[in-house]
Structure 1
Amino acid sequence: MGSWVRTITTPFRKACTIFGPHKDGGGKKQTQQRPNSAAVVQHVDAERAKLHGEVMACAYDDVQVMWSMLDQARIRDLSASS
């Protein structure tokens, strides 16, 4: 029973890290250099593309529907902030 739960929840956990609010370093020291914002955007886009591939490979239609809902919400947020 655990494998199908993991199959469904793993893409959602990954999506939460990509689409969710970003936190500043948590408890990390402030002396660390902050990464270049263009590099961060490029990394997030690469992770999103990788996750998109995993979601589309998932056999459960619910997972793909949830992905499309998250993606549409992200597009609306991006267009509203521009």
Structure 2
Amino acid sequence: MGSWVRTITTPFRKACNVFVPQKDGKKPQESSSSAMVQHVDAERAKLHGEVMACAYEDVQVMWSMLDQARIRDLSGSS
């Protein structure tokens, strides 16, 4: 029973790391800022592949909802 729960929850735990900004109050240094953005984008792309490979359609729908919310947040913060 635990394996199907892990199959569903693991992508969302990873998504929390990608979509939710760090709340430690520290700003990244200017020189490492672009490297951090590239790293987050690479992790997000990797996670996107894992989610799309998941057999559960619900997981894919939830990913698209998170992705749309992220796009709205980015366009609203500009």
- TM (norm. structure 2) is 0.89
Task: Name the structure where helix makes up a greater proportion of residues.
Answer: 2
Equivalence for 1:36: 32
Which residue is equivalent to 1:7? 7
Shift of 1:67: 0.2
Aligned residues: 76
Deviation at 1:25, TM superposition (A): 7.8
Q: Is there any run of 5+ residues in structure 1 with no aligned partner, and where?
A: 27-32
- 1:60 is matched with 56
Within 2, Cα distance between the matches of 1:21 and 1:75?
14
What root-mean-square deviation, in Å, do the aligned CA atoms of Structure 1 and Structure 2 show?
1.9
Q: TM-score, normalised by structure 1?
A: 0.85
Structure 1 segments (4+ residues) deviating >4 Å: none
Percent identity between matched residues is 83
Provide the residue aligned with 1:79 in structure 2: 75
2:21, 2:46 → 1: CA distance? Answer: 19
Taking the aligned partners of 1:20 and 1:4, their CA distance within structure 2 comes to 25
